[in-house]
Amino acid sequence: MTVWDSYIQGPTMEYFRIPRDILVIVLGKSTYARSALICNVTPIEPEFEGKLTLQITNLTNKHLRVYLDEGVAKLVFSTTDL
């Protein structure tokens, strides 16, 4: 897929079932950030179930290519006190 001077949104390949005591923060990978390709996702709430929708934004006027199965974001899991 080629992203140029705009953004796209799409679902992840993975399906998530987040437990009640877990909060997930999604961060873009530095490999793409250095190329000005930003992955924007809000925190994933406890008990969320489903696929994530990622928004990938190209902040440059250059063509950038993202390959399937390469990974554009990472997830940080944290326990919460309920």
Instruction: Report pLDDT digits (tens) over 4-55.
Output: 558 888 888 899 999 999 999 999 888 888 888 888 878 899 999 999 998 8
- Give residue 2's pLDDT: 53
Query: How is the chain split among helix, strand and coil, in percent rounded to 5?
Result: 5, 45, 50
Amino acid at 32: Y
- Give residue 46's pLDDT: 94
- Give residue 5's pLDDT: 55
- Rounded Cα distance between 75 and 28, Å, is 9
Q: Is the dihedral of CA 68, 74, 78, 82 positive or negative?
A: negative
DSSP-based three-state secondary structure for 13 = coil
User: pTM above the 0.85 mark?
Assistant: no
